[in-house]
Structure 1
Amino acid sequence: MAELPTVRIGVIGDPGVGKTSLITATATETFSDNPPPVLPDTRLPAQCTPEGVPLRIIDTSSKPEDRAAVEDKIRSCDVIVLLFTLDKPDSFRRIDSYWLPELRRLRVKAPVTLVLAKTDLIQNEQVLHELKTDKVDPCMARNRQIETCVDCSASKLSHVGEVFYTAMKAVIYPSAPLFEAAGSSGVGQIKPAAINALHRVFMLCDKDKDGALSNKELNVFQTKCFSAPLQPEEIVGIKKVVSEKVPNGISHKGLTMDGFIFLNALFIERGRLETTWAILRRFGYGNNLRLNSSETAAARLSPSPDQVAELTTDARKFLLQRFKDADQDRDQLLSPDEQHQLWSTAPESPWQAPPYSGVLVETAQRGFLTREGFIAMWAYMAATDHMAAVENLLYLGYEGSITSIVQLSKGRRQELAARSNPKAPSRAFLKCLVFGGEGSGKSTLLGGLVGMPSHNASSRGSQSNSGPQSAVARIDTSGASSSSHRENSKAIHLAEPGQTWLQLREVSMNGAESLLTSPTCSEQLAGFDVAAFMFDCSRPQSFQEARVLLEAVATASGNSMPCLLVASKDDLGMNPDLERDCGQACVALNLPLPISVSMQLGEGRSVYQELVNAAQRPNGAIPETRSLKAAQQYRRAMRHAMLWTGVGACTVLAGYVLYRSLSSRPEADARS
C-alpha cells in the first residue's frame, strides 16, 4: 500500500470520561492517577501502527471557555473518538442529545468511533453484553456516522491501542463506501457501487472469460493482491464456505461472481475491511470507489483549439467486442437491460446524465442502441472529454496500454497539408455548428443524421431545454450517413482507420447571441470545423437572419471558419425573389449556392456530405466578409507600397552608384 499521510484523531466526550488517561495509556503504556487536564497533541510514528500509518492524537478540553478552540480542532480531524462510561450515565445519553448534533452543526463528516471506557468498573460480562445489545447497537443504527464501538480500560491497559487502531482503520479502510449498515430491517448489505467495483475486479481476473475463477486464476488474483498464493486446503475451505451459503457461488469451473461478492461481503461483515480495500486499491480504486487519477494520468492530452482527441483503432476494436458481449440476444442492438449490464462494472452509466443524455445517435425503432450509435457515442465522449473516455474504457475492462486509447488529431493546417498525400490518415471526428432561427429545420437536420423521422426530431428539438443538443453519426466514403445504409452496416468495419464521424451541434438565435458576445467567442469557434446556417426557403426573413448571422460568425472566427447556407423545406418551393437574393448574396460572399434540402423527402444525405467536404477542404467555403475584404485590400496595399518602396530604394541606390562612379573619374584623370 502506498504511504499514507498522518491520520488526525480527535478525542471528545464529557468531563471525567477518561479522554486524557486513554491517550496517556496508549502512548506510554502506563496509567497515571493524576493526568493533566488536557494533553498537547500526541504523535505516534508510523512504526507504532500495524499499517505503517503515523497518527496524531488530539486531546480536547472540557472547559466552556475552551469551546471555540475545541471546535477548530474537531474540524481538522480525520476521525473522531467519542468516549462514554457507565459511571457517568449522562455521558451515553449526550451522544444522541449533544455530541452528534454538535458534529453535524460543525459540519464534521469524519467517521466516529464510539468508545465505552472504564470497562474495569463492569464486573459482569452479561451487563456489558446487554448494554451493547440494548443501547449501543440501536444508537449506531440511528447514527450512520458511527463506524463501530470499542470498549477499553486505561487503568488495566486493556484494548487501549485497539481504540486508535480501529479509529485509524475507519479512515484508511472506511466502511461507509462499502457497506450499508443494518437499518430497521436488521440486515446490512454491500452497496451497489462496491458490487460494481468488485464485478470489474472479477472480470479482469477471469482471463478465460468463462464466468468463474479457476484455481489458477484464484492464485494469480491472490498473489497480485496479497503477494502470496493460496494453499490447496485454503481453496477447498473457501469453496466449502461459499457453497454452503450461496448455492450458485461455486460452479464446476470455479468461484462465480456471486461467490466472489459473497466472500467480500463476509469480510466486511466480520470487520475485515482491510481485505476488501486491499483488493480494490490493488486495482486502482480510491475511497470514493472510483479509479484514482494516477491510474489515468498517463493518457492525459493537451489538445490545441484546432485539434480533437479521437479513439484509436485498438479502443474501437475493444468497444465492438464489449458491444458483442453485452448483446446477449444477438440482435445487433443493446436494450436498456443490456446497457445496464454493460455498465455493471462502472460506478454508473455516464450516458444517463448531461452532456451525453442530450446527444442523438443511431437507435433502432424500439429505441435500442445500434452498433453505429454505440461507437458514435464513444467517439463523441473522446472528442469532448477524452479523460472521461479513458476512465470509462478502463471500467469496462480495457487492459491494453493506457496511452493506446485516445490520440490527438493533426492541427487543421497540418491536416490540410497532409491531404496532398492520399495515404495520410485524416481527422476522424468533425464538429459542425448548426445555426438558425426557430422553425428553420435545425432539429430535423440533426435527427436526420441519425435516421430519426422528421416529426420525431422536430418534436424532440422543441422539448429540449437543457442546453445545446448534438447528433453524432458516421459518414461513409460515398457521403451517406450511417443511418442511410443501415442494411449494409454489418459489412462496415467500425474499428478500421479512415472512418469519419460528424457531430452536428444545434445553436438557437439566443445561443448565437450569447456566443458572439462572449469574450471567448473566437476560442469556442476554433473548436469547430465548419458551420451551417439554416433558413426556411419559404420565408425570406429567415434567409436574412441566416445571412447576417453567417457574416457575424465568420468575422468572429477571424475569417477562418468554412460556412455553408442550407435552405430547408425545399419541398415547399423557393420564392423567385428569395432565390434571386440568395444568388446575389452568395456571389457577394463568394460562397456556393445554398444547399436545398427537404428532410420530409429524405434528402439530408447531400447536406452531411457537403459539410464534411467543407470541413476537409475549407478554401472554397470561407465567406468573403467585409472584414476579410478589408484585410485583403490592406494586404494588397501593403504589398504595393513595399514594391514601390523597393523600386525607389533601388533607384536611389543606382543613382548613388552612378554618381560615385562619375565623380571618381576627374580625380583619376588629374592623378594621371
Structure 2
Amino acid sequence: MAKETIRVVLCGDDGVGKSTLIVSLVKGRFISNLQDVLPPVTIPRDFSSSPYSPKSTILVDTCNANQATLQRELKSADVIWLVYSDHDSYERVSLYWMMTFRSLGLNLPVILCKNKCDEYGENTAAVDSTDTKVEDEEFIPILMEYKEVDTCIKTSARTQFDVNQAFYLCQRAITNPIAPLFDARVGELKPLVVQALKRIFLLSDKDQDNYLNDDEITTLQRKCFGRSIDINELNFIKKALSDISSPTQEYDGYMLYVPDKGITKDGFLVLNKIYAEKGRHETIWGILRAFQYTDSLSIKDKALFPKLNVPDTSSIELSPKGYRFLVDLFLRFDKDNDGGLNDTELTFLFKCTPGQPKLWSETNFPYSTVVNSRGCITLQGWLAQWSMTTFLDYKITTAYLVYFGFQEDARLALQITKPRKMRRRAGRLYRSPLSDRKVFNCFIVGKAKSGKSSLLESFLGRPFTETYSPTLGPHIAVNSLELKGGKQYYLILQEFGGQENVILENRDKVKNCDVLCLVYDSSDPESFSYLVELVKRHEDLKDLPVVFVALKADLDKVQQRCYIQPDEFTEQLFVDHPLHISSTWPSSLNELFIKITEAALAPGKNTPGFPPESKINEAEYRQAVMIVASTVGFISLFTFTVMKLLKPFKDGS
C-alpha cells in the first residue's frame, strides 16, 4: 500500500543550492534571487505514477542558522536530500552531516546530491540518468562507509539537469527502498529477498524443470508489470547472463542461463542483483509486490488472511474454484503419475510455504485421510484433507493458497454456507435441514476400548487390526462418501481420547459438531452405562442430532449392566435403535457413515426428545377418538335426560 504523504527534507551547507533545486523542480526554470528559506512545498502525485507512489510529497527547505528548527525537521523527515556543491561542502558530508544524522538517532535513507554541475545540460548524454550506479571517485567512499546513503546523483538547478530524477530518487527511497534488498557493503542481495526470489522462481517454474523458459518469463513479466517482455530485452538478459558466467568472469562455474532451456535459479538471483547494483530497485519491488510481499519482505497479512464476514451458524467450505486449483496442484506435483504424493513430492510441493500446517502434524497427516498401499496421499485424500482444514480453520487454507501461488483473491476459493436456522416443535428448538452443506463434522464418543479408533481407521479403508493402542489425544479422520443420487459429501470423524469430557464441556466446540455418534461395545456389559451417564451429565448433547452405534457386533452380544437397555433408552429419547456395526463387516460400516451424513443433513429427525411423526399422529388419533366418544356419550346422556323430563307433560295432555 502506498504511503499517503512523504516528507523530503533538503539540508546541506549554506549556498549549495537547496532552495534553487526546489524552485527549479516546481517552476521548471532557474530563478537566482530567492529568499533564504522557502516555505514547505507540496507536490501531488501524477496520475500516471505507480500506485505505490505517495499521494503527495512535501519538500522542506532548511537553514543552518536555526539548529533547533533544522533538527526538528530532520526528525520528522521520511527521507533526507543532502546537497553539496564544491570540495568544502563535500568534505562536510562525512565530517559533519552524516555524524549529525547519527547523533540524532536517525535511520533514514539519504540521497546525496552534487548540485551546480552546470556543465551538464538538460538533454546531455554525458551521464546515463537511467543508470544510477555511480562511478565517480568522490561518491564511492561515502557509499561504502555510510549504509544510510541510498544513492548519489549529480544535478544542476541552472540547466535543469537531473532535478526531476533526484526528486524521483527521494520518492523511490521510500516507495522502493534499497535497504531491505541489497547490502552495499558486501555487494550481495540480503537473505530475506533471496528467500523471496527463490520462492517466486519456484512458483514461476510451471513445468518444474528448474529453468524459466521464454513462456514462463513472459508470464512472470505480465504478472509483475502488466506487459509482455520485449524480445530484444529478453535476448539482452540471456546474453548478459551467459557472458558473466563465462570463464574469467565473476560467476564462472555458475549455470545462469542454458540455451533452449532457460534461466536457472542462480541466474534469476544474479539478474536481480544486477538490478540492485544498477539502481533499478523498482524492478525488484515490482516482482516482489506482484507476489504480495511487503517492505519487510513478508507476505501481506491481508492476502494471507482476508477478512470474511461469517454468520455464527454458517460454515466455510472450498468453492469449485478452490477444489479445481487444489486438483491442478496435486497433478502438477505427482511427478511419477502414480496417483499419490510421496514424501519427496510433498516436500517439493510445500517448498514455497513455511512447511505443512501445524494442524496437519497434530492430526497425524497423511494418516488422517486416504493413502494408498505405500502410504502416499491420494487425490481423494488430498481434497478431503483440505476440506477438513477449511472447515476447522479457513485461515490456514487462505494462507496456503497464497503460498501455493493462487492468482486471485483467496476468498474466491471459499464459499460460506447458509446460516443454520432453528425451528420449534413440541415446545423445543431443533436445527433445520441443510441444503448447501457438503462438509460435516461428527464427534465419535464412547467408553475407552469400545472400538472408536478402529471405526476411524475403517472409515479410511484400512484393514482391522487386533492390536490395541489407547488414544490419548484427539484423533481425526476425513474422507468423502457418496449418497444416493450421486451427491458427494465430506465427513470428518473426531474422537478425543482423554480429552473427551473437556471437549464436550466446551460450548464452542459442541456448537461446531453436526452430529454426535455415541458408540458402545456390544460385547462389553459395562460399556453402555458410560453413554447413559454422559447424556445425563451433558444436557446440551440432547440438542444435537444423535446416532447410537453398537460396535464389535461380530462378537457375542451381552446384556448391558445398566438400569436401562440400549433399545429402551433410545426409545425414550425418540431416536433410532443402535446400529450394529463391526469393523470386519464393510457393508455395515458403509451403512453407518451414510446414516451419520443423513442425520447431519436432516437434524430434526435425529434430535432426541421429538417423537416420530407416526407416533404423534397415533397419539392425536387416540385423543380425537376419545373426544368424539366423550361428545357422543354426553349428547346421548343429555338427550335421555331431556326425554325423561318431558314425559310427564306428554302424559298429562
Q: Common fold, TM-score beyond 0.5? A: yes
1:576 to 2:559 alignment: yes
CA contact (8 A) 1:533 1:566 kept: yes
How much does 1:502 deviate?
0.7
Q: In structure 1, the residue corresponding to 2:561 is in which secondary structure?
A: helix
* Partner residue, 1:319: 326
Matched, 1:532 2:484: no
Aligned AA for 2:110? L
What residue in structure 2 maps to residue 484 of structure 1? none
Q: Is the 8 A contact 1:9 1:167 kept in 2?
A: no
Quote how far apart the aligned CAs of 1:241 are: 1.9
Q: Following the alignment from structure 1 to structure 2, what is the Cα–Cα distance between the partners of residues 126 and 577?
A: 95
What is the CA-CA distance between 1:334 and the residue it aligns to?
1.5
**Corresponding residue of 1:166:** 169
The residue type equivalent to 2:438 in the other structure is A
SS at match of 2:359: coil
What are the superposed Cα offsets for residues 173-204 of structure 1, whole Å, 9 maximum, x if unpaired?
24566x4637879675642223323443453x
Aligned counterparts, 1:114-133, within 5 A: 114-116=110-112, 126=137, 128-133=139-144
Give the match for residue 181 of structure 1.
183
1:654 corresponds to: none
SS at match of 1:319: helix
Which one of 428, 434, 437 corresponds to residue 438 of structure 2? 428
Aligned CA distance change for structure 1 residues 230 and 511 (closer, same or farther; 3 Å): same
Counterpart of 1:475 in 2: which secondary structure?
Answer: strand
TM-score by length of 2: 0.65
Q: 1:538 to 1:24 in 2, by over 3 A?
A: farther
Paired residue for 2:195, among 192, 195, 202? 192
Note the alpha carbon deviations across 1:251-284, whole angstroms, 9 max, x for none: 4265566655553443234321212333455577
Alpha carbons of structure 1 residues 408 and 220: separation in structure 2 relative to 1, 3 Å: closer
Given that 2:313 and 2:420 are in contact with CA atoms closer than 8 Å, whether structure 1 keeps it comes out as: no
Instruction: Specify which structure has the higher proportion of helix.
Output: 1
Is this contact kept in 2: 1:25–1:160, CA < 8 A?
no
356-365 vs 598-607, greater mean Cα deviation: 598-607
Query: CA 1:264–1:395 in 2, change beyond 3 Å: closer, same or farther?
Result: same
Match of 2:313 in 1: 305
- CA offset at residue 70 of structure 1? 7.4
Equivalent positions of 1:483-632 (< 5 A) are: 498-507=487-496, 512-513=501-502, 516=505, 518=507, 521=508, 525-534=510-519, 543-550=528-535, 555-556=539-540, 560-566=543-549, 576-578=559-561, 581-583=564-566, 584-595=568-579, 607-624=592-609
Match of 2:22 in 1: 27
Residues 1:606 and 1:226: Cα distance change in structure 2 (over 3 Å):
closer
Q: What TM-score, normalized to structure 1?
A: 0.63
Corresponding residue to 2:344 among 301, 325, 337: 337
- Seen in structure 2, the aligned counterparts of structure 1 residues 332 and 278 have a Cα distance that, compared at 3 Å, is same
- Which among 94, 106, 113 is matched to residue 109 of structure 2? 113
Q: Which amino acid aligns with 1:588?
A: Q
Q: Unmatched 5+ residue regions in structure 2?
A: 25-30, 84-89, 118-134, 246-253, 423-433, 628-653
The one-character-per-residue Cα deviations of 1:499-538 (angstroms, maximum 9, x if unpaired) are 22111234467665566465xx4xx645432112345668
- Give CA-to-partner distance per residue, 1:591-629, whole Å, 9 cap, x none: 33445666699986564344224223445432128xx99
Q: Deviations over 1:396-417 (max 9, x none)?
A: 4667998874445566689xxx
Q: State the structure with more CA Rg.
A: 2
Q: Distance in 2 between matches of 1:41 and 1:566?
A: 79
Give the secondary-structure state (helix, strand or coil) at the position aligned to 2:600. helix
Q: Secondary structure at the match of 1:354?
A: helix
- Residue aligned with 1:362, SS: coil
Specify whether residues 68 and 537 from structure 1 end up closer, same or farther in structure 2 by C-alpha distance, changes over 3 A only: farther
CA contact 1:11–1:58 (8 Å) conserved in 2: yes
Report if aligned partners of 2:241, 2:267 keep a CA contact under 8 Å in 1.
yes
**Cα distance change on mapping 1:194 and 1:175 into 2, 3 Å:** farther
User: Would the aligned equivalents of 1:446 and 1:471 in 2 still touch at CA under 8 Å?
Assistant: yes
How big is the shift at 1:10?
6.4
Q: Match of 1:361? A: 369
Query: Which amino acid in the other structure matches residue 27 of structure 1?
Result: I
Q: Which residue of 1 aligns with 2:239?
A: 240
- Verify the 8 A CA contact 2:19 2:61 in the aligned structure 1: no
2:479 is matched with 473
| Counterparts of residues 211-250 of structure 1 (less than 5 Å) | 226=225, 231-244=230-243, 245=245, 247=255, 249-250=257-258
Structure-2 separation of matches of 1:504 and 1:19: 77
How far has the Cα of 1:169 moved from its partner?
1.9
What CA distance in whole angstroms lies between the structure 2 residues aligned with 1:460 and 1:338? 32
| Local SS of the residue matching 1:623 | coil
**AA at the equivalent of 1:474:** S
Larger mean Cα displacement after TM superposition, 79-88 or 241-250? 79-88
Structure 1 pair 454–161 and aligned structure 2 pair: CA distance change class (3 A)? farther
Give yes or no for contact 1:80–1:167 (8 Å, CA) kept in 2: yes
Q: Secondary structure at the match of 1:239?
A: helix
Give the Cα–Cα distance (whole angstroms) in 1 for the partners of residues 260 and 113 of structure 2.
51
Contact 2:528 2:562 (C-alpha < 8 Å) held by counterparts: no
Tell me the alpha carbon deviations over residues 281-340 of structure 1, each in whole angstroms, 9 at most, x when there is no partner.
55776655647958998x96756625552442x644543343222111333321333123
Amino acid at match of 1:114: V
Q: CA RMSD in A?
A: 5.7
Contact kept in structure 2, 1:116 and 1:150, CA below 8 Å = yes
Checking the alignment, whether the CA contact within 8 Å between 1:311 and 1:407 is kept in structure 2 is yes
Q: Structure 1 regions of 5+ residues with no counterpart? A: 104-111, 141-145, 415-423, 479-495, 645-672
Cα deviation, residue 375, structure 1: 1.2
Alignment of 1:194-209 (within 5 A): 194-201=197-204, 203=206
Give the aligned length.
560
Q: Partner residue of 2:426?
A: none
- 1:470 maps to amino acid: I
Q: 1:420-461, CA deviations, whole angstroms, 9 ceiling, x for partnerless residues?
A: xxxx98743221123456666655544553357889998695
| Aligned mates of 2:447, 2:60 — CA distance in 1 | 64
Structure 2 counterpart of 1:8, from 6, 9, 19: 6
